[in-house]
Amino acid sequence: MKMQRIQEMKKLFISKQNITNKELCDTFGISIETVRRDLNYLESEGFIRKVYGGASLAESSQAAIPVDEWEIRMNTNSASKLRIAERAVELIPDGSTIFLDSGTSVYDVSTFLASRTNITVLTNSIRIAEVLGMNPKIMVYFIGGVIKADTLASVGIFATEFLSNFYHLDYAVISCDGLIPDQGTTEQSLELAILKKQIISKTGKIILVADHSKIGVAGSCFCCPIDKIDTLVTDEITSEENLESLRKNNINIIIAGSVK
């Protein structure tokens, strides 16, 4: 529990740079004593430096989003992700050819695809290939390559060579490690970013599934330009300021859980 909170604190510091002790107490529902212990831990890592009444992201920090283990990410904002996934599948008509990436939000999308027929899926996710591979209504192409142990996703030159066989995809449902509202999506993995860029270049419509925790956060590798995103499916906690910034870039916004 503590380490999951520490990871979330790191993301918050990367996004905001400076945070007060009170903000941390309110955000995580913890006491000031717990905040001080957590800040001591982050300072010992060299991630932040404590200042009066709070802390700031250390200048020496690499400012990279910490990538949680799969099980932790699956259980983070899980209810919101399921609602997001259900709404995202509504955008995919029968007979489509789609790409599904290896993110946890996209994994949830795959679990709702059983309601579609004559779907062709390309994915670099072993987990998604396993979920959809035995469904007789869905044709699944697994994108081969080197398997990343932390995500069970394929990347690398063999993956990009495989994709060269496909000229056009109708839809790509992608996740992200971070979304900068006026720029686009970012990833922590350069290899995943390269693979996704190739997919984006072949795809008619890009559907981004991202809950509020990803918006306003920057990863180390730029991936999908903001003008390539057709639709963002997100949750009701996403700030109106971020939503307005995204709408200015002509992105269709769907708030999962809202009345259609």
Where is the domain boundary, 57, 83, 101? 57
DSSP count for the chain of H helices, then E strands: 10, 15
pLDDT at 12: 79
Q: How far apart are CA 260 and CA 256, in angstroms?
A: 9
CB 58 within 8 A of CB 39: no
Domain of residue 43: give its range.
2-57
Tell me the three state secondary structure of residue 188: coil
The tens digit of pLDDT for each residue in 174-204 reads 999 899 988 999 998 889 999 999 999 999 9
Of 29, 30, 11, 24, which is closest to residue 50 (Cα–Cα)? 24
Residues 81 and 196 in one domain: yes
What pTM was estimated for this model as a whole?
Answer: 0.73
* Tokens matching residue 145: 């390559």
Where is the domain boundary, 12, 35, 57? 57
pLDDT at 69: 64
Say which CATH number the domain at 80 has: 3.40.50.1360
For the chain, what's the residue count? 260
- Check pLDDT > 60 for residue 205: yes
Residues 16 and 74 in one domain: no
H or E segment at 153? strand 153-155
Model confidence at 68, in pLDDT bands (50, 70, 90)?
low
In a domain, residue 208? The reply is yes
- Check pLDDT > 70 for residue 22: yes
* Tokens matching residue 88: 């995202």
Q: How far apart are CA 257 and CA 236, in angstroms?
A: 7
